[in-house]
Structure 1
Amino acid sequence: MLAFAIVALFLALAIRNWVSVQRRYKDIPGPFLSRFTSLPLAFHSRGGKRHLYVHSLHQKYGSLVLIAPSHISCCHPDAINVVYAQGEHALLKSDFYKAFVIDGTPNLFNTQDRLKHTKRRKALAHPLSYRSVKDMEEWIANNMLKLVRNLDKECESKFSAHQDSTHSHSNGVPMGAETPGRASGGGNCLRVNMLAWFNCFTFDVISDLAFGQSLGMLDRGTDVLSDSLCGNGQSMGVAAMIGLRGRAAAFLGLFPPLVAFGRTGFLIRWLLLHFWPDPLIRKGLSSSDMLSNIATTCVRKRMSSSDNGDQIIRDDLLHRLLTELRKSEQLTDDIKEPLNEKIVVTEAMLLLTAGSDTTADSATAILWYILAHPPVHKQLIAELDENVGILSHDVAAADELPKHDQVKSLPYLTATIQEALRMFATNAFGLPRVVSNTSNPVTLMGTNIPPGTELSVPAYTVQRDMSIWGEDAYEFKVQRWLPDTESTECVKKADAKYLLTFGAGPRMCIGKNLATLQLHLLIATILLRYKLELYEPHRDLEAIEGFMNKPVELLVKISRR
């Protein structure tokens, strides 16, 4: 009966959409089925390749495509400043983002309310400013030292520490992001899954800064947490949880009637969790609950220990976040009661998921592009050796590792990171906005866009647009970002305003400073300390997309320099 009711609901929505779409979007090209339903887009979203599907539609239909009823994707360069406009022309986030709300409490990322977003962003801006993040470099360096020591042990082993064994889940990041883990080694050749170690590092960094202590993943060599933190007796890597949550939310966000709050929302969610025929959706909803439990437990522990005087208050990210949130709530609403715990938890969970997972994914993609292009690898090593120096054989303290001040302005390192982020967009499909009845009139490529329309600009497509990047837009070329590079017939100078790695406009990623600092330090440290080769040089970087585009793994041969 439930299946019949779901089918009937989709049919009713399809008929309604068809009537509306035929009238409002008759001049916008796109697949026939997309005028009836979001199911074609949902099918490719469920398969983890939505960005490639949208890219193929633009190649077939042009810059303006109807990819779902009332959803237009535009890959024209000028669309960025329209869809992600600033000030009074800014468009609101669409109902797609409701699927990412936990327990009915929106955070900075998923709130649709412009005033709430402004207030929350103001509260988070100072804790995540470059100066603030730079003050926390010591904690980042301490976790980097743990990472180095773990990788040193890997190099000293005759076989991989993650050889086929009962501990295959220790790396946490699985093929397809659906199983708890996967062995990353085997045979007589030392190979290491760098994605797994990058995840452990970034999770420990963000938990150290956001919860007052790390989750201890680098200490244990795994991103699998205890049952007491996950809250339901399941053993699953945090990276897998985030991947599953993102894939489920990216799917459900295409069907806003399935996402609601209050009693109705609770009932719908319960039905989805227990009866939805697709196990991926059920696992994603369960993973969302586990992540919420982790954030709640860690926040409560930190706040309780601080209130009881059991712990010296650190001037870390959580302390600064709490301070700014209290100021924001009191200045705006004159609230004298203690800060609502749900607000703290939902922002801490945002930091845990967005502030760690995406950085590990980006670092993995950057390292793959470096190793897949030996001349780039060689030139990076030369630049780092000249400006930082070869690290001592036995690193005894964190202050012996590279500092951000040493590497942040290195031109070839920066250019390499930029080019890799262009080629591998961590958020590859277009982030949707909606034209509301209160929006200023919106025009794209001479077409008036009616209210109620979702608009998006696909990062994957824009970052391969030959009119922006040149005829070699599909090729990895670091020189396009070098400051002394001049536009030639071979290489067109890059323009950073078309790089959508951290989004664009007023909803641009607020954690850019923290992510950029970690990426510079991670890549510089790994390249300075280790000899690295791709384990399978002729294999492309495999990725699967949920909300974010996530590499599956990065197997490398590793030894000390």
Structure 2
Amino acid sequence: MLALAILALFLALAIRNWLSVRRRYRNIPGPFLSRYTSLPLALHSRGGKRHLYVHSLHQKYGPLVLIAPNHISCSHPDAINIVYAQGEHALPKSDFYKAFVIDGTPNLFNTQDRLEHTKRRKALAHPLSYRSVKEMEEWIANNMLKLVRNLDRECESKSSSQQMTHSRLNGVPMGAETPGRASGEEASCLNMHAWFNCFTFDVISDLAFGQSLGMLDRGTDVLPASCEDTGVAAMIGLRGRAAAFLGLFPPLVAFGRTGMLIRWFILHFWPDPLIRKGLSSSDMLSDIATSCVRKRLSSTHNDDQIIRNDLLHRLLTELRSSEQLIDGVKEPLDEKVVVTEAMLLLTAGSDTTADSAAAILWYILAHPAVHERLVAELDENVGTLSHDLGAADELPKHDQVKALPYLTATIQEAFRMFATNAFGLPRVVSDSSKVVTLMGTNIPPGTELSVPAYTIQRDTDIWGDDAYEFKVDRWLQDVKSSESVDVKRADPKYLLTFGAGPRMCIGKNLATLQLHLLISTILLRYKLELYDPHRGLEAIEGFMNKPVEVLVKISRR
């Protein structure tokens, strides 16, 4: 009966969409089923390969494709400035983002209200400015020192004390909620993605909650108080996959009493265990954030913690300064607002940085010539690290590495090849929007639009005939490659790593600083090679595209 009820719901939605689509989008090419239901897109999203499916549609139908009943994907370069326009032409976020709202309180990322977004962005702009982030480099360096000491011990150990299980680390695929540890199945074989997760989670929790989650101390992202052996990275991955699926069916996402009823039904009766697990993971992440924020706000015994000028302190200062006056009295700061923004920092600020770092390292190690040239640049400009690091200030500083041309170009090229958000962030043409025209076609109000980053970042018209190849030289002023073959110079405006337009990722400065320091430190400190150089970079997509693991052989330089 339950299966029949769910089938009837989707059938009713398909009939409604059919009546609408045959009138509005008859001139837009796309798969037959996608004109009447979002199920094909949802199934590929559920399978973790939505970006590849959308890319295949563009290869078949061209740059303008109807991928769902009211959703057009446009892979033409000009679409970036239209779909993600600034100012009065900016398009609002669609109902897709409601699936990412927790407890009915939106944050900077998922709020659809333009005025509320402006208010939230203003509150976070100063704390996440480069100047502010740079002032917190010491906290980042302290966690970097912990990471290095862990890796040093792994290098010195003849055998790993924590064996990798056959399940994928970090719990990314369904059926692998047990995240495993950061060590590999043989001596000196490590999963660097797992270690990067521990590092970035500790950094962000240190800055956003005023206390580290202690993952580097334990060598795992499983929290000691957790009732399940599920790591935080696993929770975020599962939450993203569930939300990316449910976001395609807005009637399944609601708030208030109706939302609570729907959510309870999905948690207990939805036939797909991944969706149920994703929702429960979302609840657990919310509990973690709430507990950490409450502990910080209610602390009266540790004066240093209260006045600690970290990211949470700066966020609270900005939020309180934006409080409204009601009858001459300031409205008290809603704890839920602080929690939801802190959780955004934890999930987006740490998880995506670790994913990007893992992908960058894989591309470096998969191309030995790039690896060799990078190490030479770092040796020349930073120098050899002390054999026995005694303090965090002995590690590379951001001022030493932020302007290194080959390091910067390598990171940019890895961003291009591995888009952390690959399928395209949706916007909607509202009734109040200016007329939107894509490739000569007027787009009616109510239509969702997206520009697929994976496809744009492999467009041969933009990047050249070698768009599917990893070539660092395309980002350098010298456009001659090592083989003396012309390389088309890259244009950063087509790189969608941090999004585009008014909703561009506000955490770019913090992520970039961490990535520069992380990659530089690892390459300066260790000899690295891929455990299996013939294996590609395996990834699976929820909302974000995540490497499954990056196994390396590691030793001290």
Residue 51 of structure 1 aligns with an amino acid whose one-letter code is: H
Partner of 1:194: 192
User: 1:293 and 1:186, CA in 2 relative to 1: closer, same or farther beyond 3 A?
Assistant: closer
Shift of 1:5: 1.6
Scaled by the length of structure 1, the TM-score of the pair is 0.96
Which amino acid counterpart does residue 133 of structure 2 have in structure 1?
V
Corresponding position of 2:503: 507
2: CA distance, partners of 1:333 / 1:386: 63
Aligned-partner SS, 1:544: strand
Counterpart CA distance in 2 for 1:137 and 1:386 is 23
Letter in 1 for 2:109: F
Which residue number corresponds to residue 17 of structure 2? 17
* Residue aligning to 1:553: 549
Shift of 1:484: 3.3
Contact 1:200 1:223 (C-alpha < 8 Å) held by counterparts: yes
Structure 1 Cα separation of the partners of residues 175 and 554 of structure 2: 24
Q: Distance in 1 between matches of 2:433 and 2:395?
A: 50
How far apart, CA to CA, are the structure 2 residues paired with 1:170 and 1:64?
36
Match of 2:378 in 1: 384
Equivalent residue number for residue 433 of structure 2: 439
Give secondary structure in 1 for the equivalent of 2:194: helix
Equivalent-residue separation in structure 2 for 1:296 and 1:126 (angstroms) = 23
1:213: how far off?
Answer: 1.0
Change (3 A) 1:334 1:4: farther
Q: Secondary structure at the match of 1:510?
A: coil
Q: Which residue of 1 aligns with 2:94?
A: 94
Partners of 2:369 and 2:326 lie apart in 1 by 55
Report the AA paired with residue 104 of structure 1.
G
The verdict on how the C-alpha distance between 1:174 and 1:264 changes in structure 2, with shifts beyond 3 A counting, is closer
* 1:370 partner letter: I
The 2-side partners of 1:330 and 1:152 are apart by 51
The aligned residue for residue 209 of structure 2 is 211
Q: What's the offset of the Cα at 1:328?
A: 1.4
Deviation (angstroms), 1:19: 1.2
Amino acid of the structure 2 residue aligned with 1:300: R
2:457 aligned with 1:474 = no
RMSD (Å), alpha carbons: 1.9
Contact 2:296 2:306 (C-alpha < 8 Å) held by counterparts:
no
Gaps of 5+ in 1: none
C-alpha contact (below 8 Å) 2:38/2:248 kept by paired residues:
yes
Deviation at 1:311, TM superposition (A): 3.6
One-letter identity of the residue aligned with 1:262: G
Q: Aligned partners of 1:344 and 1:528: how far apart in 2? A: 38
How many angstroms apart in 2 are the aligned matches of 1:60 and 1:382?
A: 44
Deviations 1:390-443 (A, max 9, x none): 111100100000000000000000000000000000000010000000000000
Shift of 1:485: 2.8
* Corresponding residue to 2:519 among 519, 523, 535: 523
Partner of 1:261: 255
Q: Is the 8 A contact 2:210 2:305 kept in 1?
A: no
343, 346, 351: which one aligns with 1:349: 343
On the 8 A contact 1:120/1:328 being kept in 2, the answer is no
Gaps of 5+ in 2: none
Shift in alpha-carbon separation, 1:427–1:331, aligned structure 2, 3 A: farther
Deviation at 1:179, TM superposition (A): 1.9
Distance (Å, rounded) in 2 between the aligned partners of 1:496 and 1:540: 26
Give the Å deviation of 1:183. 6.1
Say if 1:170 and 1:251 are closer, same or farther in 2 by CA, change over 3 A. Answer: closer
Matching of residues 334-483 of structure 1 within 5 Å: 336-483=330-477
- Quickly say closer, same or farther: Cα 1:72–1:205, change in 2 above 3 A: same
Matches within 5 A, 1:82-161: 82-161=82-161
1:541 alignment partner, one of 537, 541, 546: 537
Deviation for aligned residue 1:266: 0.2
Q: Which amino acid is 1:213 matched to?
A: Q
Give the AA of the match of 1:512.
Answer: K
